[in-house]
Amino acid sequence: MRLPSQLEGRSKYIHPDDKLVLEDELQRIKLKGTIDVSKLVTGTVLAVFGSVRDDGKFLMEDHCFADLAPQKPAPLLDTDRFLLLVSGPGLGGGGGERLLDTQLLVDVVTG
């Protein structure tokens, strides 16, 4: 085990002997396979495909990281458009008691 004082002044906080461990709510299992240990940090979310071997380690055949779905590019607009996000005035009330708040909001937005 390396002590914090041994880590001071280093450009990387990894060691060639570092191992990957897959953990869920029930268990931990060591991972074997072609994945760069130096590129991962604790808490990385990923999916692994493979099987448990006789030595008790999980042999990864493939893996993928959690990521956002591909995004479509936003269409180009010919005019300016604006979006106002307002929180808290309670404009959805059933009665007319919030009309002052609505008028104040309109006054602020329109200048």
For 19-59, the pLDDT digits (tens) are 888 888 888 999 888 888 888 888 888 888 999 999 888 99
Compute the CA torsion angle 89, 94, 97, 101 (nearest 10 deg).
20
Residue 88 counted as domain residue: no
State CA 53 to chain mean position distance: 31
Residue 57 counted as domain residue: yes
For 100-110, the pLDDT digits (tens) are 778 888 898 88
Specify whether the CB–CB gap between 12 and 38 falls below 8 A.
yes
Residue 1 counted as domain residue: no
Which alpha helices (H) appear in 1-111, and where do they start and end?
4-7, 99-110
Residue 18 counted as domain residue: yes
Residue 4 counted as domain residue: no
Rounded to two decimals, the pTM is 0.48
